[in-house]
A and B are shown apart, each in its own frame.
Chain A
Amino acid sequence: MTPGLVLFAVCSLLCLGGAVVTVASVNPIRGALGLLTTIVGIAGLFLRLNAEFLATMQILVYAGAVVILFVFVVMLLGPTASLPRDAGRRSLYARAISGGLGAGVAVLLFALLSSSKSHDFPIVGKDHGTVEAVGRQIFQEALVPFELATVLLIVAALGAIAVARANPSKTVKKPSENPTLRLFHGPLLARDAGHPLDGRTLEERHEGNSEQRAS
């Protein structure tokens, strides 16, 4: 029972348990916390695989940005973010596909376990997975994709702002034509202004009064 095996077992359990909680929870907040558990477990597995830089990036980007974004949206939507449990069922088609996937995993698992040859990891090199090594690879062989990734992130941020922004023509209210109503836009409800509750707004009452004066 080496420490590496203990780390692998603990992180695997974290990953699988978190994934099941993410998929099975009715409340999306619990789903986001399950996703966080999975992400932390995968970061631990990255450490076991000597990928220190990627473990750091995993915690920074996923746990620090993605899960927080999910939690923000769930809290913004409020109680409507979770559907009731009995809000209809999936079609037979989707269930068949998902069941076929599960069966495929069982077949793959059997094939892997029955194969006698297993590929052991070699002795790790001195700088495998460090920031220096990954950075050298990125900036020597993948410089153009790296710059394209920066462009992608900027475009995605702008797109997210453009998509999520509320429609301005619906939210901005046109000012009233009446100068008195433009000046005194205090209590618009009749109840707040001390008037009897006749169900009319201030503008309707104003128009009604002018009609009465005209007649």
Chain B
Amino acid sequence: MDTTVESYMLLATAIFVIGSIGFLVRRNVLVQLMSIELMLNSVNLLLVGFNRLHTGNMAGQTFAFFIIAVAAAEVAVGLAIVLQFYRLRGGVNSDEATTLRH
């Protein structure tokens, strides 16, 4: 079971769906950012799992490495935006981000 790529595909899909449901259902901006992290991690797991099928070729792990770098940058900017949003609205409810609505 742990030597087939299908089990890793199932696990990565489950984590991705949990993350996307959390992003859609929760309204706390911080929890939504954490859900985005869950989705990025599941894609990393899938890339590394497929890379294991082609031993000797490191393209999948290189992709995962760049995804980790981009995720770190995204979290830094995202948390800065959360701080400014908190200063603007006094809360972390993402339903209150309606400045661009009108």
Contacts and interface: CB of A to CB of B under 8 A. Distances in A.
A20 B28 CA distance: 15
A88 B69 CA distance: 36
Contact of A54 (B3, B65, B90): B65
Contacts of A83: 27-28, 91-93
Interface residues of A, number: 94
Interface of A is mostly: helix
Interface of B is mostly: helix
A90 B68 CA distance: 31
Contacts of B31: 22-23, 25, 28, 31
A97 interface: yes
A15 B102 CA distance: 41
Contact of B27 (A7, A35, A76, A90): A90
Interface of B: 1-11, 13-15, 17-22, 24-28, 30-31, 33-35, 37-38, 41, 44-45, 48-49, 51-53, 55-56, 58-59, 61-62, 64-66, 68-77, 79-84, 86-87, 90-93, 95
Interface of A: 2, 4-5, 7-9, 12, 15-16, 19-20, 22-25, 28, 31-32, 34-35, 38-39, 42, 45-46, 48-51, 53-54, 57-58, 61-62, 65-66, 69-70, 73-74, 76-77, 80-83, 87-88, 90, 94-95, 97-98, 101-102, 104-105, 108-109, 112, 115, 118-125, 127-129, 133-134, 136-138, 141-142, 145-146, 149, 152-153, 155-157, 159-161, 163-164, 166
